[in-house]
Structure 1
């Protein structure tokens, strides 16, 4: 029997089996059972439909980790519309690009971030503007809660939704600067959640604390997994270490996620406040992705704080999880050292490390190749970018998505990322296009040459670093550069390390040899990325 896989399945199951369970705890502590949460979702669906949202339309959301983020996702998808979560750290010009690229019909925004939409409102196609706490937003916005109060809690009639219909569009930094819309179907999101459940050990008594941004590929799929399994979402608008420890104790949190910078801030807070109680009644596990945690961080989290780390790897395009080091069998054999790898392929996922000809490199933990992946959770396409989509699935090994990450692997299939083929820096869990930053730097009248590379950082994993050659007679300071880039870039893209150099190494054709530059900064590290 074939049954269509839809994102709506997850909330449907929660309502069927866990309607009286507290499903969502808002940032202010308000609790919603799944039945109450489901009614709010229905009210929003009916409101959106009343505002003309139809199947296939795009609903964009700009919000931190909130209950209404979860409500908007499910309300949009049960109408057959497409959910477009946006990174609240971007600047107005980037929102303008995204809203035009996806042709958003409706924008829902949080009161802390709506001004960035209001700034470009006349330049985007959206007709409906809904604000959470609209009274705190300048401009003409319909209040979110008023809208819900004015509409029925009865479930709307759903259209015929296919598993191959678009469910969400998640924007990720492109190597050329323009964000790329990663289109995920109901089917890819469905598989995404099932794979996540398997490797993160999610059960119906889990209490999940939202420290990972929900906009990150829909929170690595936990928007679906926690809901469908019947666990409890605890919302924390944005991360802060003290608030995290307090909520872990107050709500008996059993599971949370965090980029390396989150781990470092938790460790630092605990070191400065050693008497902090770090758990409630439940044991706590923490999933971290991307850069392998240093051994000192592993020891601090697992031995001092008392939480178990699960390490995974993936990208927005791959759902993201495609490898995991969460293997009790191998952990028993190799110990904590295993968690310094990105991990081995997840269930029903084919991950390879291949050379230029698409052949597997030897599994000797020395030979380096590009990570490619095939799986039901991998994206459908890049929105409006046919050439980039074709290249992503055909560059070295046709039929596999090419990650751009260069790695080795061992006899157990455990992958260790060493470098990147693409010009992306991952700082604090956010993708930064080095070319985008360079383009801004070259707009400065006193800069002759610029190269932007990642350099090692204990706090951020990788630091956005700018190497600058000034024009003759120019008198620039690092403060001047930072102030200039702040006018044109989101805060997390601004170079945090700025060095002035006499020249940059170039090829015969004038291309900066970034590989050589990176080697100079990473020579004492095991790999050329964080």
Structure 2
């Protein structure tokens, strides 16, 4: 074992430190599972199941639809949908015919949508009738976009929900009418009339792109991350090998995180299909729906974000539900507070492990062991075939053990670069290493802890303050449900710490009480000087708190 990789000694015997990843079209994951388990349910959506055989056939049909619309290999196809059957059919169908998937958030407004569609040069967008008006406006400003393919939630609902859904929407004042015509097509009609001839083109897996996955929308202008078929297949296998007790054809995956997010794509959608599991698609995070689903359908695997677990453990009627079916939870997209981890495991009897990744790495690079030695408060150890170091951001030199520096990673899951952005690519990929922009430290066992985003660092009176450290202390307070910390301008210290806090239902807490709590647990310069109590915090769809939005609000108030 290399002395520079102390983490390898913690690998269980079931996890090989290196593996030969197949170099094939990402869509072969579906082809293989449908061949082995044709009659097993692949998708469960709001009371209706779809078998692997039906899922594969629908994906073949969509691949042939795209070809008929004039889409060629290498053309970009945008998918702007929440978790629903057409979203995953369009995903695999696009990959099968050699197209490049551009996942687009349903929350995007016209300006963001125009940027992403124009930047990627998308030729087709697949969306819902609910979102059509917004997409139609964006199309007028996007010369490359030739076709809008429109589906509806009702198309995949069982009776009588399929009848009641449009009535409810009408009652709520939502217009679902879509006028078909030049460049506007019905997903359902196209699929029905398309050929079901199998198609899954051969690709140069290490060069050909499977995804243009946009990132940085919350931190500046969104950039398209070029992920190859090999990148994503490798990360799917890495994640699967890590969770080695997971059974083929047996598991039920709770699909609460959005599949348009890279974490949801790999750890939920690709993982479920690779393992021939049943993917329970939840279009919108609704805690009551989630609890009912767990209680009734007994999912075994629940990838999620910390905010989802926070909502679950703090639900006033959590004791009325049986959530013990959950065996494995992989938490990503934000730090997992210790108190949340302990309470969730006590309630389910399952294991919840914190992992780490970023869009540029497909996304997972580190995780704690699901069954084995783990360290709470860390992101765990690097995945198989993944190398990691903590370095001085400027020089690239490794920092001494235990010291803080920038985390850099290398592995088969690391992107080819940013789409049409050579300068940013050169800054982020250096000598084969991906510079993550996250500040971290590594201990003597090879466990890594993220201290914070490089850009989130607060410098107060010359002292470095990492928001995560303060947030961990806030989360430990029995009255606090959620908390986030930012740096705000201060005439004397340059910056000072401000905390935004959401209390648990029925709990009370004063600013003075919280200050005393922090003073007992933090150095004086780290204690929040300002506290704002809120009902909710602004979040992305995947549950990540929008720290940037809070900063912008503060800047507006102070200007």
Supply the distance in 1 between the matched residues of 2:219 and 2:355 (Cα, whole angstroms). Answer: 27
**Cα distance change on mapping 1:144 and 1:290 into 2, 3 Å:** closer
* Residue 305 of structure 1: how far off its partner (Å): 4.2
- Aligned counterparts of 1:319 and 1:413: Cα–Cα separation in 2: 22
Partner of 1:50: 68
Displacement of 1:206 after TM fit? 1.1
After superposition, the Cα gap between the structure-2 partners of 1:154 and 1:420, relative to the gap in structure 1 and judged at 3 Å, is same
CA distance in 2, matches of 1:277, 1:226: 25
Structure 2: how far apart are the matches of 1:322 and 1:390?
20
User: d(CA) in 2 for partners of 1:501 and 1:386?
Assistant: 34
Offset at residue 260 of structure 1 (A): 1.6
TM-score under structure 1 length normalisation: 0.77
Cα–Cα, structure 1 residues 424 and 231, in superposed 2: closer, same or farther, change >3 Å? Answer: farther
- In the other structure, the counterpart of 1:294 is 337
Aligned twin of 1:358: 396
Which residue is equivalent to 1:224?
Answer: 270
Q: Measure how far apart 1:360 and its partner are.
A: 2.3
**How far apart are residue 423 of structure 1 and its match?**
5.8
Q: 2-side partners of 1:2 and 1:25: how far apart?
A: 29
Match of 1:348 among 366, 385, 406: 385
- Does the 8 A contact of 1:184 with 1:379 survive in 2? yes
How far apart are 1:115 and its partner, in Å?
2.7
1:427-438 aligned within 5 A = none
Hey, what does 2:504 align to over in structure 1?
none
> Which one of the candidate residues 404, 411, 417 is aligned to 2:437?
404
Please list the CA deviations of residues 112-161 of structure 1 after superposition, one character each: whole Å capped at 9, or x if unmatched.
333321222201121110111298244543111111111122213x4442
Bigger mean CA deviation after superposition, 111-120 or 93-102? 111-120
Once residues 366 and 274 of structure 2 are traced to their aligned partners in structure 1, the CA distance between those partners, rounded to angstroms, is 22
User: Are the aligned partners of 2:356 and 2:379 in contact in 1 as well (CA < 8 Å)?
Assistant: yes
1:359, distance to aligned residue in structure 2 (A) = 2.6
Aligned in 2, Cα 1:214/1:176: closer, same or farther, shift over 3 Å? closer
Q: Structure 2 vs 1, CA of residues 153 and 358 (structure 1 numbering), >3 Å: closer, same or farther?
A: same
**Cα distance in 2 for residues equivalent to 1:198 and 1:39:** 28
Q: 1:28-427 counterparts in 2 under 5 A? A: 28-124=46-142, 125-133=144-152, 136-140=176-180, 141-156=184-199, 158-163=200-205, 164-173=207-216, 177-201=220-244, 202-204=246-248, 205-217=250-262, 219-221=264-266, 222-269=268-315, 272-279=316-323, 282-326=325-369, 328-331=371-374, 338-355=375-392, 356-364=394-402, 367-394=403-430, 398-422=431-455
Alignment CA distance shift 1:461-1:5 (3 Å): farther
**1:481 corresponds to:** none
Cα deviation per residue 1:378-418 (whole Å; 9 max; x = unaligned)? 11110010000011012xxx220000001111011111111
Distance 2:119 2:318 in 1: 48
In 2: Cα distance, 1:63 partner to 1:327 partner = 31
Shift of the alpha carbon at 1:316? 0.6
Partners of 1:18 and 1:104 lie apart in 2 by: 34
Instruction: Mark the CA change 1:149 to 1:389 in structure 2 (over 3 Å): closer, same or farther.
Output: same
CA distance in 2, matches of 1:502, 1:32: 51
Matched-pair contact (CA < 8 Å) for 1:15–1:35: yes
C-alpha spacing 1:231/1:413, structure 2 compared with 1 (3 Å): same
Q: Contact 2:298–2:323 at 8 Å: present in 1 too?
A: yes
Secondary structure in 1 matching 2:435: strand
Tell me: CA distance 1:3–1:301, structure 2 relative to 1, closer, same or farther (3 Å). Answer: closer
Alpha-carbon spacing, 1:258–1:465, altered in 2? closer, same or farther (3 Å): farther
* Distance of 1:212 and 1:247 partners within structure 2: 14
What are the Cα deviations for residues 410-461 of structure 1, in whole angstroms up to 9, with x where unaligned?
A: 0111111112224699xxxxxxxxxxxxxxxxxxxxxxxxxxx999485566
Which range moves more in the overlay, 460-469 or 290-299? 460-469
Residues 377-386 or 147-156, more deviating:
147-156
- Name the CA distance, whole Å, in 2 between partners of 1:419 and 1:153: 49
Task: Give 1:198 shift.
Answer: 1.6
Cα distance between partner residues in 1 of 2:219 and 2:194:
44
Aligned CA distance change for structure 1 residues 259 and 461 (closer, same or farther; 3 Å): farther
Deviation at 1:188, TM superposition (A): 0.5
Aligned positions, number: 443
Judge conservation of contact 2:303–2:330 (CA < 8 Å) in 1: yes
Structure 1 runs not aligned, ≥5 long: 332-337, 426-452, 470-477, 479-489, 505-530
Q: CA 1:80–1:460 in 2, change beyond 3 Å: closer, same or farther?
A: farther
Residues 175, 386 of structure 1: CA spacing in aligned structure 2 closer, same or farther, 3 A cutoff? farther
Q: Secondary structure at the match of 1:300?
A: helix
Specify the alignment match of 1:495 in structure 2: 550
CA distance in 2, matches of 1:75, 1:501: 45
* Counterpart secondary structure, 2:320: coil
Deviates more, 1:218-227 or 1:82-91: 218-227
Q: CA deviation at 1:298?
A: 1.6
Answer whether contact 1:290 1:342 (CA < 8 A) is retained.
no
